[in-house]
Structure 1
Amino acid sequence: MKRGLSLKWLVVIVFLVQGLILVVGYSFLTAHYLIQGMDNMVTSNMEQVAHHYLEETANEAPKKPKQYHNYIVTTQWSALPEEIKTLFKQSEITPNKLFKAHLSEESPPKVKFLFHLKKRNQKVYVTYGMSRSTASALTIKNITNDFQTLIMISVLSALSLALVILLLSWRLGRPITRLGQWARTLASEKLNQPTPNFNYPELNAFAELIRSNLKAVQETTEREQHFLRHTSHELRTPITTIRSNVELLKKLDAKSNQRHQQLAIERIDRASLTMKHLTETLLWLHHDRAEQLPMKECQLNDVIQHLVDDMRYLLASKKVTVTIETKPYTHYLPEAAARIVLGNLIRNAFQHTWEGNVNIIQEKNTVKIINEQHANSEQEDLGFGLGLQLTERLCQRLAWHYQNEQQAMGHSVTLVFPDTK
């Protein structure tokens, strides 16, 4: 598995680089404005010198060049020092603007300034030179302090920004790491537990999304497993019926007993239809399909009798008496689901009665199945729970009344089909 740069460190590096760019940029901008402020001071001084020169030489014609400390003032370009005329071109000099040139090759380095003042019809050129040796100690100290302060502020800003970003990434990284560890250890038994608090609503919402999605996947998997178990459980009866009647047909073929052959064929036909309807019903139940199951008019007493006949093999070698009390009654309902539910109830009664009575009573749309156990037995069929679970789910889904009561020696089950007419 490739291990690239983690999201945490990517964010940290991006913010650090962006922060350093801002710090360096603002540092250069501050230095620029600091130098521009010094230039403005020099310009102001040179302008004052030019005005002083004009006032002092107001009565002189022509005006002669003069020097005030390090300032040289003249009205003629030709009267400027040769060094100034070499550094600057007269054609590029515009009035009321400061020009400067750096002589870094000299030792110590120097800066030459030229200011051209134009007032009414008078023109004045002012030059000024500055170096470390000519500047006052106070000026050098102030400039040095200013740059040191600027550098110190820049460094402290960069360090504080880096510290804040690292603290922020650590603060954000802890709950994200906890979220990853929690997601990796999220087992099926933890899916019904509430999600932990990861300090931030977005992470809590993401954790809840992970839990709900995994829970949905687990429920889908369990539904499929239940479907397979239900299918294998429910198909046993029709498969057994088909197999036993095929064997019967083989034996009857030799004896040419047409009546028994016809009965065997009818049982095989019912069993195959039961398997078909069972598959459709289970798919409808386990996949939450919205459409209704096909409805038809069913003769309840005939359905019960056929189911009892198909499952009598479960009573082989058992001392069980089956009593059936039915009355002809036609009801409009989903036949496949009715056969599954009634078949489950009859099968459970036959399987769990080892010595006793099974009473099946049908009156109109109400069916009661009562099994009375005369002798206790430890034997138990593993499919019993699945059958009841499927019965309960179908009855709940179809809004059929279903009641299962445990009695002293058995169970009493009541099933009422709703009147749809």
Structure 2
Amino acid sequence: MKRGLSLKWLVVLVFLVQGLILVVGYSFLTARYLIEGMDNIVTANMEQVGRYHLKQIAKTGINQPKQFQNYFITTDWSDLPSEVRDQFSSSEVQPNVLYKFHHDEAEGPPRILFLLHFLDQNQKGYVSYSVSRNTTSALTLENITSDFQTLVTISILSALSLALIIWLLSWRIGQPIARLGQWARTLATDKLNQSTPDFSYPELNAFAELIRTNLKSVQESTEREQRFLRHTSHELRTPITTICSNVELLKKLDAQKNQQHYEAAINRIDRASLTMKYLTETLLWLHHDRADELPMTECRLDEVIQHLVDDMRYLLSSKQVDVHIETQPYTLYLPEAAARIVLGNLIRNAFQHTWEGQVNIQQKQGRVQITNEQSVETEKEDLGFGLGLELTNRLCQRLGWHYQNEQQGNGHFVTLVFPDSI
């Protein structure tokens, strides 16, 4: 089996990478805003110092460069410190824009130099400012260090909390998914009719129900196929037996001297082959829920009963069973193949389960009554029941025929009523 990254860890990895990107990105953004805030403070201070110097020039009339702590103020570019002029030319410096750069000292710590070209009432000036670790107050350094430490701490805690949340989320989702997989692997036939367990999420519950219904559909399809095979093998026994016995009879008969018996055997073989054909079509229609209807034909009910009794008399060989048949000519418009299957099953069932006694078959118009009576006590383990009667029940329900099977004493009383449609 091909191994790869599981869906769970793929989701965890994607969310973790995306979360870390967001945390790192916002950390850099916060650091940038912090630096820009400090630059804005420096710019405001430099503007304030420059304007104050211009006011002093206007008041005293003396225009000379002036240095105040780390600030150097002048109105002439050439008066700026050489370390500032070496970095820029006067034409590059735009008004009201803060310029800064690092300046490495030969001795001592490196410094950051700031330059601002400002305008105030048509007067221009330049202010430079330098700052280093030695010139910065301890309180300012402490605040800056504290701010960066806070930023780093928040970033680390955010990343850890994000990882924890993703892990908890994956665990919370992974547990129901694991239970769903375990349930699906152990889903047996006896559990298909049970309701699906609760897997905490509607999507998983819907997926579990889909699995259950699909497996149930497959099981029902398999059961239909198995029933079809059982019914087919059960129903084909009679026509196959009829064909085989009549073929043997034909081998023994002389067609010239026994023309009547010869023709009777041929007719029984013909009826048996047609029975097999219609039987297969009817079983396919029944077990595959086919939408098309069975072919309807005019059927002499009394003749069908007589033919079925003749074909199944082999079941009474070596038995002391009397068969009484009472019929009257009657024609119906119905699926003859289905009628033959139902009547054949009832007659076969009566013959098979009567060892000594009598079988009474009475037909009056569309009503058929079949009774088997045992003259001796027998075990009632399978009297009147079997695979054939299961098929009879299904056909009668599907076609809307009235069917009733009652146990009476040491036998069964069966009633079958066909709808009067002709």
TM-score (norm 1): 0.97
Query: Within the alignment, does 1:3 sit opposite 2:15 as a pair?
Result: no
Query: Within the alignment, does 1:415 sit opposite 2:416 as a pair?
Result: yes
Cα offset, 1:244, TM superposition: 0.5
Query: Within the alignment, does 1:332 sit opposite 2:333 as a pair?
Result: yes
Comparing 108-117 and 29-38, the one that deviates more: 108-117
Aligned length: 421
Corresponding residue number in structure 2 for 1:166:
167
Corresponding residue number in structure 2 for 1:233:
234
Corresponding residue number in structure 1 for 2:80:
80
Cα offset, 1:87, TM superposition: 1.8
Structural mapping, 1:344-355, within 5 Å? 344-355=345-356
| CA distance, structure 2, for counterparts of residue 159 and residue 256 of structure 1 | 106
Letter in 1 for 2:186: T
| CA distance, structure 2, for counterparts of residue 126 and residue 320 of structure 1 | 132
Cα offset, 1:88, TM superposition: 2.3
Structural mapping, 1:159-198, within 5 Å? 159-198=160-199
Query: Within the alignment, does 1:65 sit opposite 2:81 as a pair?
Result: no
Q: Deviations over 1:163-212 (max 9, x none)?
A: 01101111111111000000000011111111111111111111111111
Structural mapping, 1:236-255, within 5 Å? 236-253=237-254
Runs of 4 or more off by more than 6 Å in structure 1?
Answer: 379-383
| CA distance, structure 2, for counterparts of residue 47 and residue 306 of structure 1 | 122
SS of the aligned residue for 2:386 comes to: helix
Cα offset, 1:383, TM superposition: 11
Distance 1:97 1:146, change over 3 A: same
Distance 1:48 1:383, change over 3 A: farther
Letter in 2 for 1:156: L
Corresponding residue number in structure 2 for 1:308:
309
Letter in 2 for 1:103: H
Corresponding residue number in structure 2 for 1:137:
138
Corresponding residue number in structure 2 for 1:49:
49
| CA distance, structure 2, for counterparts of residue 397 and residue 155 of structure 1 | 73
Letter in 2 for 1:301: D
Report if aligned partners of 2:353, 2:383 keep a CA contact under 8 Å in 1: no
Corresponding residue number in structure 2 for 1:213:
214
| CA distance, structure 1, for counterparts of residue 174 and residue 273 of structure 2 | 61
| CA distance, structure 1, for counterparts of residue 419 and residue 195 of structure 2 | 40
Report if aligned partners of 1:351, 1:381 keep a CA contact under 8 Å in 2: no
Structural mapping, 1:381-420, within 5 Å? 385-420=386-421
Corresponding residue number in structure 1 for 2:32:
32
Cα offset, 1:378, TM superposition: 4.9
Distance 1:99 1:359, change over 3 A: same
Cα offset, 1:91, TM superposition: 2.4
| CA distance, structure 1, for counterparts of residue 268 and residue 385 of structure 2 | 24
| CA distance, structure 1, for counterparts of residue 383 and residue 109 of structure 2 | 104
Letter in 2 for 1:411: H
SS of the aligned residue for 1:92 comes to: coil
Cα offset, 1:255, TM superposition: 6.5
Q: Deviations over 1:250-291 (max 9, x none)?
A: 111376411111000100000000000000000000100111
| CA distance, structure 2, for counterparts of residue 62 and residue 272 of structure 1 | 133
SS of the aligned residue for 1:58 comes to: helix
Corresponding residue number in structure 1 for 2:19:
19
| CA distance, structure 1, for counterparts of residue 105 and residue 221 of structure 2 | 82
Cα offset, 1:2, TM superposition: 1.5
| CA distance, structure 2, for counterparts of residue 104 and residue 368 of structure 1 | 119
Cα offset, 1:385, TM superposition: 1.7
| CA distance, structure 2, for counterparts of residue 269 and residue 84 of structure 1 | 120
SS of the aligned residue for 1:347 comes to: helix
TM-score (norm 2): 0.97
Please list every run of 5 or more consecutive structure 1 residues that lacks an aligned counterpart in the other structure.
none
| CA distance, structure 2, for counterparts of residue 228 and residue 210 of structure 1 | 27
Query: Within the alignment, does 1:96 sit opposite 2:100 as a pair?
Result: no
Distance 1:34 1:380, change over 3 A: same
| CA distance, structure 2, for counterparts of residue 358 and residue 66 of structure 1 | 137
Letter in 2 for 1:118: L
Letter in 1 for 2:34: L
Letter in 2 for 1:89: S
| CA distance, structure 2, for counterparts of residue 105 and residue 276 of structure 1 | 109
| CA distance, structure 2, for counterparts of residue 366 and residue 100 of structure 1 | 112
Report if aligned partners of 2:232, 2:280 keep a CA contact under 8 Å in 1: yes
SS of the aligned residue for 1:328 comes to: coil
Report if aligned partners of 2:353, 2:384 keep a CA contact under 8 Å in 1: no
Report if aligned partners of 1:352, 1:380 keep a CA contact under 8 Å in 2: no
